[in-house]
């Protein structure tokens, strides 16, 4: 039974895809273990960032959490509903409680429909259409994402990228979801428009208590927006904890290297490890032992054999490394004396018309 403030609980989730090419006759193809035993709890009203290099399994995990990708093992409970057991009624209820915002704002909207028609369709499909017609609710949704309700009559081609992304978010909110998963939803936008969308999420979190899973490459954005962060490597969560704790004192060498590889994230942050080189190993052929050991400057013999290290926790901060975090070298720079901005001031930018 999940605790009341836990909206989503993933337990040992595995997602496998068939590997590329046909295997020799009589032999099974090797599978890609895109998500490999992920356990995660998301609290109501919190924003959790999922970061990691390309191919680490972020999108697959996001889709699996919403029942959009069949899972090969483990369980997902969302608002008390089992996501993974495939019962139609549960899936229908799930669709009403969750929504996903995608990376490509323009292509994720139907070009033939006006903004108003797109939103009205979602309201109707999900049984949220008010008796007096959908127009007032459409206007309300557009206002909620900082858009002029007059845009309801426009088609996506007449909107900017940032406006399309706001419509995408309005469409997600139309369902009145308990949980939104945003997958690289600001990656395609200009920096100033990115700031507007981030501010919008911060605002929605404050006003309607939105629970958000924010999948992103951009660590600086994640640091400003998210309460917690989970770091994925080769299908596993290798570190997870409160954002400031993870960014100021990473406990997994991979997280430390990820932060170090982006020096502009915060010129004052402690950088315990040199930026990492090389590529992540193929998920078709993961190395034995710790999956990060081939790239880890701290790897010892015991890291190269046996099962992957399990996540261990202290102070609400988990990490999957058998070495003691204290063995990472001392910070090369002093941490900042004041915490970085985490509110709307993080991205001062004008609200769009």
Binding site for ligand ATP (CB under 6 A): 17, 32, 34, 52, 54-60, 283
Q: How far is CA 122 from CA 106, 130, 135, 170, 175, in A?
A: 17, 12, 13, 10, 7
Instruction: Give me the count of residues in the chain.
Output: 353
The nearest distance, CB 161 to ligand ATP, in angstroms, is 19
Q: Which does 32 bind (CB under 5 to 8 A by kind): Mg ion, ligand ATP, none?
A: ligand ATP
Q: Which does 283 bind (CB under 5 to 8 A by kind): ligand ATP, Mg ion, none?
A: ligand ATP
C-beta closer to ligand ATP: residue 150 or 284: 284
Residue 127's nearest CA partner among 152, 83, 93 is 93
Q: Which residue is nearest to Mg ion (CB)?
A: 59
The nearest distance, CB 24 to ligand ATP, in angstroms, is 19
Give the DSSP letter of residue 264.
G
Instruction: Say how far apart CA 15 and CA 292 lie, in whole Å.
Output: 20
C-beta closer to ligand ATP: residue 116 or 235: 235
C-beta closer to ligand ATP: residue 100 or 170: 100
Task: Give the β-pairing of 47-51 and 228-233.
Answer: parallel
Q: Which does 338 bind (CB under 5 to 8 A by kind): Mg ion, ligand ATP, none?
A: none
C-beta closer to ligand ATP: residue 19 or 335: 19
Tokens of 229: 């962060």
Q: Which does 116 bind (CB under 5 to 8 A by kind): ligand ATP, Mg ion, none?
A: none
C-beta closer to ligand ATP: residue 116 or 283: 283
* Neighbour tally for 310: CB within 10 Å: 11
Angle at 267 between CA 266 and CA 269, to 5 degrees: 65
Q: Is 47 helix (H, G, I), strand (E, B) or coil?
A: strand
The nearest distance, CB 312 to ligand ATP, in angstroms, is 24
The nearest distance, CB 59 to ligand ATP, in angstroms, is 3
Q: How far is CA 217 from CA 58, 115, 221, 225, in A?
A: 10, 29, 9, 13
Q: Which does 211 bind (CB under 5 to 8 A by kind): Mg ion, ligand ATP, none?
A: none
Q: Which does 298 bind (CB under 5 to 8 A by kind): Mg ion, ligand ATP, none?
A: none
The nearest distance, CB 52 to ligand ATP, in angstroms, is 6
The nearest distance, CB 151 to ligand ATP, in angstroms, is 29
Residue 171's nearest CA partner among 112, 111, 99, 106 is 99
Residues forming the site for Mg ion (CB under 5 A) = 59
Tokens of 39: 């356990």
C-beta closer to ligand ATP: residue 63 or 248: 63
C-beta closer to Mg ion: residue 59 or 118: 59
The nearest distance, CB 70 to Mg ion, in angstroms, is 18
Tokens of 191: 């920096």
End-to-end Cα spacing for the chain? 46
The nearest distance, CB 13 to ligand ATP, in angstroms, is 12
* Neighbour tally for 23: CB within 10 Å: 11
Q: How far is CA 322 from CA 213, 293, 297, in A?
A: 28, 11, 14
Q: Which does 17 bind (CB under 5 to 8 A by kind): Mg ion, ligand ATP, none?
A: ligand ATP
C-beta closer to ligand ATP: residue 55 or 242: 55
Cα Rg, the chain, nearest whole Å: 21
């Amino acid at each position: 039974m999940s605790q009341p403030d836990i909206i989503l609980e993933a337990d040992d989730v595995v997602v496998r895809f068939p590997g590329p090419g046909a295997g020799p006759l009589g032999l099974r193809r090797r599978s890609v273990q895109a998500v490999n035993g992920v356990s995660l709890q998301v609290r109501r009203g919190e924003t959790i960032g999922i970061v990691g290099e390309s191919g680490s399994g972020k999108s697959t995990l996001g889709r699996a959490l919403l029942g959009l990708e069949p899972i090969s093992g483990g369980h997902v409970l969302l608002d008390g509903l089992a996501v993974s057991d495939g019962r139609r009624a549960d899936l229908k209820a799930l669709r009403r409680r969750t929504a996903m915002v995608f990376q490509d704002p323009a292509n994720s909207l139907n070009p033939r429909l006006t903004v108003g028609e797109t939103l009205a369709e979602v309201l109707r499909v999900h049984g949220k259409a008010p008796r007096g017609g959908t127009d007032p609710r459409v206007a309300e949704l557009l206002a909620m994402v900082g858009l002029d309700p007059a845009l309801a009559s426009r088609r996506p081609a007449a909107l900017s990228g940032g406006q399309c992304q706001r419509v995408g978010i309005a469409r997600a909110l139309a369902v009145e979801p308990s949980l939104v998963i945003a997958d690289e939803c600001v990656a395609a936008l200009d920096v100033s428009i990115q700031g507007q969308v981030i501010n919008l999420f911060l605002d929605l979190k404050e006003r309607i208590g939105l629970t958000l899973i924010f999948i992103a490459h951009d660590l600086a954005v994640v640091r400003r927006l998210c309460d917690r962060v989970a770091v994925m490597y080769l299908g596993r969560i290798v570190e997870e904890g409160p954002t400031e704790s993870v960014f100021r004192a990473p406990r997994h060498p991979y997280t430390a290297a990820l932060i170090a590889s982006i020096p502009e994230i915060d010129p004052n942050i402690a950088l315990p490890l040199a930026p990492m080189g090389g590529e992540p190993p193929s998920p078709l052929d993961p190395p034995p032992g710790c999956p990060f050991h081939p790239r880890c400057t701290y790897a010892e013999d015991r890291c190269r054999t046996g099962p992957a290290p399990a996540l261990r926790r202290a102070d609400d901060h988990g990490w999957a490394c058998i070495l003691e975090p204290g063995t990472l070298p001392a910070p090369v720079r002093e941490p900042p004396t004041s915490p970085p901005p985490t509110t709307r001031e993080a991205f001062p930018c004008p609200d769009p018309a």
